[in-house]
Amino acid sequence: MPSSPENKGFGQGDPALARWAEEVFRPEDAVLREIRERSVREGLPAIAVGRFDGLHLEVIARAIGALKAVEIGTLGGYSGVCLLRGMGVHGVLHTFEYSEKHARVASDSFHKAGVGARAHVHVGVALQMLPEVEAEAPFDLVFIDADKVSYPAYLTWAAEHLREGGVVLADNAFGFGQVHLPGGDENRAGLRKFNEELARGGRFRATMLPTAEGLAMGVKIR
């Protein structure tokens, strides 16, 4: 399966329009830029969410008044900082990452961003580690951004552990531009199943935010 471009596009394909939007909305400040750059310097893959995707996460977390959130796929902490910014001073994030190196870089990021006390990094395979936080359910928000083959299982976990009215978000829902094509590998199949279940499984009212990567969003209704 192909992967994300390092410089993710935004908007309807016109680079001048995307530059204008970035100039007006300023989605990435110096703290986030430092995290993106340090993560790459430390040897992490350049697969953090795009600048506007980070802003979407912050604004959505703010809009729903999220106080307890789960992130699956931490990398260097970029999206986690965005979520924590949206959750205000009382918000807590549990974020799951199987690479110890990524988790270390993320912990530095959370501390540098001033949100270290509210970020709990769980190191290990997410599906095995998620039970560690189930006693704190129901959560307000779950952000899925790890191995694509497990997206359907992550969605099932979110449906069981979000409050009604809570939000699930998932990056890369367009499957790197290929989710709609027949065939493909287990990752594409996982993303296709995830989208179908989110859209039509009956637990969420869902939509697709048409970012470059596809940011799927569902509100839990039952």
In contact, 67 and 87? CB cutoff 8 Å:
yes
Nearer to ligand SAM, 73 or 166 (CB): 73
Amino acid letter, residue 85: R
Asked if 73 is part of the footprint of ligand SAM (rule: CB under 6 A), the reply reads yes
Give me the phi and psi of 205, to 5 degrees please: -100, 120
Asked if 47 is part of the footprint of ligand SAM (rule: CB under 6 A), the reply reads yes
* Binder of ligand SAM out of 18, 64, 83, 126 (CB under 6 A): 126
Asked if 58 is part of the footprint of ligand SAM (rule: CB under 6 A), the reply reads no
Nearer to ligand SAM, 151 or 204 (CB): 151
Binding mask 159-198 for ligand SAM (x = CB under 6 A): ----------------------------------------
72 token code pair: 């699956």
Asked if 79 is part of the footprint of ligand SAM (rule: CB under 6 A), the reply reads yes
- The Cα 96–Cα 74 span in angstroms is 6
Asked if 96 is part of the footprint of ligand SAM (rule: CB under 6 A), the reply reads yes
Binding mask 97-116 for ligand SAM (x = CB under 6 A): xxx--x--------------
For ligand SAM, how many residues bind (rule: CB under 6 A)?
20
Contacts 24+ apart (CB under 8 A), 100-108: 101/42, 101/43, 101/44, 102/44, 102/74, 102/75, 102/76, 103/74, 105/38, 105/39, 105/42, 105/44, 105/75, 105/76, 105/77, 106/74, 106/75, 106/76, 106/77, 106/80, 107/77, 108/38, 108/77
Nearer to ligand SAM, 126 or 158 (CB): 126
* Binder of ligand SAM out of 69, 146, 173, 198 (CB under 6 A): 146
Asked if 75 is part of the footprint of ligand SAM (rule: CB under 6 A), the reply reads yes
CA distances from 202 to 69, 118, 218 (A): 22, 33, 11
- Residues in contact with ligand SAM by CB under 6 A are 47-49, 73-76, 78-79, 96-99, 102, 125-126, 145-147, 150
